[in-house]
Structures are given as C-alpha cells and as structure tokens.
Structure 1
C-alpha cells in the first residue's frame, strides 16, 4: 500500500499552492488536491510529477510502499 511520507497538502500550502492556485494555474486539478488533503494516494503519475515539480522533490521523498498483511500473503503465495 502506498502512503505519503510527508504531509503533502501542508507542503503545497507552504509553497503557496492552494485550491485557488490550482484553479487558476491548472497545474493540479482541484480533485487531485482534495485527494492529497485526504491522504489518498490514488493520483495519476502526471499529477505526482507536477507535485514533485512544485515541491522540488523526488517521488521517493513523497511516497513509500508498505505491504499490508494481505499483500504479504500474496508475496508468500507466489514466492516474491
């Protein structure tokens, strides 16, 4: 399961990127910003790219993968 390592919404706000800026610049959709605020990682790679651009970070600085119990079982089942 993917999780944000940092509070991305807060980092964007500190850079001056809010819902108004999203609407006027169209760099990120308002829907994407709402997902980020809810810590929903189901954003597109294009959106992730733009977040990295705005924050001057790499994806590895923003997200991490932590296997759930179910995912660990899949790994065991298929010998990953």
Structure 2
C-alpha cells in the first residue's frame, strides 16, 4: 500500500527528506494521514528506518481496520 506516499494527499516528502531529514515530522504526517484514511480504526505499531547513506526511508505500520482485522503495511521511499 503506498497511499501515504501519494503527493496528492498533501504529504510534503521533498521538504521532509531534505538534509537533515525531519523524521519526527515524517512520523507525525504519516500517522495523521493513516488515521484519516477511511476504514482505519487505529495504529497498533509504527517503525521507520532511514538509511543515511542511500537516503532510503522504510516505514512499517500495523493498523487495525474498522472490522477488527490487523493489517501490516510497509512502504519504502527513496
């Protein structure tokens, strides 16, 4: 699922990933967009790792939907 990487949703990826990357703001933005997504009831876990050499950000979430199902989500942004 790459819906929270979609620039049409208002996430300013280029600004957030400038040097130095504002990872705290990235986390806040991703969590906000995730919780605003129809069908998502809650975020159960969130992890993000930035490879500073390659500038690749990997985000891993586990969410619960409105039906009680737990869903893993992984996205990578270069």
Give the alignment's TM-score, normalised by structure 1. Answer: 0.28
If each structure's helix is expressed as a fraction of its own residues, which one has the higher value? Answer: 1
Higher relative contact order (CA 8 A, sep 6+): 1
Larger radius of gyration: 1
